[in-house]
Structure 1
């Protein structure tokens, strides 16, 4: 089995779990028309099977489904990278995943000697962004709330402080599950009202959908006395990874087999590459993802927490990376972090107001000019209503920070420069 773990090391319990499920995963997937064609003439060795992309699956959607399967849940991806992709799941795999989650909770309680209470998941994920929610069968409850409009935020705060909710959910631990923007908007609404966050009784905040930028993380930690959980996940794939604050790297869930491959070859990447995931049977049966190219760039790391397993740092979307000579020069996240918080720079609009809670609205266009890589500030959106000096001052600050970022790369002998955006 391939999982890109450090060579010469013993398998971890997680890898043994994956190894046990991998063979039935591949045998089961071979009965699906798409994989039957895609793997024709290949042995069922994961390392030697071709990867799949979202476009391939979209173009062959009907043949990616198990013949005769009865769907129990249909979700969809966001469509941010193209056409939305529909995910179909069956009753048996939902049951298997539910039993797995219950077993993890039972094992956690046994190790700690403390019972794990059921969870009230306060979900700020609008259906239009993340498709339907997988209806796992646990003792938890899910409460859908609106964090993306002024009226919705006000109603959410009133709902979460209602004595009726306390009565109905006594004995449940409260977890806020939201995108970075949604979590920040709720925080800002509570601050505007002068209401302490502890009045909501939230014990943990789980953020997903996009990586927290430093200012967002700082704001949440400053205002909340709650455990912060940063998740990497995709709407197309079951499972994901969690950022570990001990080692600073992402730890992957056991229900997927991870790989880090070159962008243009099905070969392991030495450092930065595309994250490739395989869902395991029985948690994925009707429409399994086998060696699915996620479109996300990660940097493989070695963790003191999990020395025998693959861990990673998130670099950003592959389409937003800047490459030179086949090597990554700039990743999406480091560009966003470099310009985050510049006064007057527009951030992704969330809700009815253009609150600075999303990612900075900037993109770069790499161009090769002779023997030099030139980064053109192709898109820099500016809000200048309260900023002295107007748009040009904002653009100058963006250019200065990007030039500083590129100066670090120039030390490696990469001929780089950045061209300012027009005001």
Structure 2
């Protein structure tokens, strides 16, 4: 009889808890003696403390399960901050390699959501890697897609963050015009929010499928692919996820609810520095029912907890996802170009993220939005933005419109 995805997770969780109890000084006194089976694992997990990035770093030495012999050092790519060092064992790297099912298609990785894969995990053989550090690299990536790799094979999968793929797409359209004939059949978009408008554009312009991936630097084996059946994200069998009340992590949220994500990466994918009940700081929304394909509910990313504000509606929060879905495809809303390339010009402006900021004011939550024009000069166009927000955002959330350059400290996605 074939095991379900949930059963695989529980088997892995029991093995992980057994392992860290024996080898990690931090967990040795927190997990009671005795055999740990799949049925026992969820209750034991729930009794363990959760650790955020600061808490995890403070007890890092006690978390480790072995000595540094045979340990490889890698670094995250720094897409969301300063690159961080991480360590991995050969068992971790072997588990990651064996779990990756190649489909024979040549890939072009723009170095985004597979954090640290090139530098530390021996996974660089799966395709070409081009970091978009300057416009010269844009041309290099464009030439690879248009002409093929050095061995004559053609790129079939383009992978990177939403911003990287949008930037490269506009660059290639300016160089070649129609890009649908280059043979790209899949875009793997990771880490950032992709609006419905941009998802539709990318699908039409490239003539390709869109695969959206959610992940984080600290948990490189826990990237969650958006399911084409239920349109929610599912973590792979290498981890277990919990969704808890941000104000009371001992309480799980119900199906369809919103809450903080806790992730446990399973042995042997994380061996040397275990992350158990790790709270990366992201809000998610659980699906209202189980996915018919995978037999368990998926989730939707909502944004960083620090960028969201509590409200009395919509599961208790106004989130980055709410605002992106409301404002990202409105042409009246200004965008942040976020140029990372020294020789870039305004050609990629439209690939930027909508300029907004969620604030908790004295009379309740509000969203401040920057327009491309002065709302006093163009009142009807500004009213269209307010009307769209009223239909989409949680009830009672005020929308405050600003003219160009008037909104500081926007939420970047």
Which of residues 321, 327, 337 in structure 2 aligns to 1:339?
A: 327
Q: Is the 8 A contact 1:273 1:298 kept in 2?
A: yes
1:152 corresponding residue in structure 2: 137
- Structure 1 residue 139 displacement after superposition: 9.5
Which of 104, 108, 114 matches 1:122?
108
Aligned to 1:253: 236
Q: Helix, strand or coil for the counterpart of 2:118?
A: coil
Query: Tell me, what secondary structure is at the counterpart of 1:189?
Result: helix
Q: Secondary structure of 1:181's match?
A: helix
Residue 292 (structure 1) aligns with: 278
**From 145, 170, 175, the counterpart of 1:193:** 175
Residues 1:244 and 2:230 are matched in the alignment: no
- Map 1:23-422; keep pairs closer than 5 Å: 23-30=14-21, 31-36=23-28, 39=30, 45-70=44-69, 71-76=71-76, 78=78, 80=80, 85-101=84-100, 104=101, 116-117=103-104, 119-125=105-111, 130-131=115-116, 133=118, 136=121, 140-147=125-132, 149-162=134-147, 165=149, 168-170=151-153, 174-237=156-219, 238-264=221-247, 265-270=249-254, 271-301=257-287, 302-306=289-293, 308-324=295-311, 327-340=315-328, 341-343=330-332, 345-350=334-339, 351=341, 352-354=344-346, 355-369=349-363, 373-375=364-366, 377=368, 380=369, 390=374, 401=385, 404-406=388-390, 415-421=396-402
Number of equivalences: 382
In the alignment, structure 1 segments of 5+ residues that lack a partner are: 1-10, 106-115
The answer on whether the counterparts of 1:376 and 1:421 sit within 8 Å (CA) in structure 2 is: no
Deviation at 1:310, TM superposition (A): 2.8
Over aligned residues, Cα RMSD in angstroms? 3.4
Bigger mean CA offset, 333-342 vs 399-408: 399-408
Aligned residue for 1:110?
A: none
Unaligned runs of 5+ in 2: 35-40, 407-413
Relative to structure 1, is the Cα distance of residues 134 and 331 closer, same or farther in structure 2, using a 3 angstrom cutoff?
same
Q: Which sits farther off after the overlay, 172-181 or 230-239?
A: 172-181
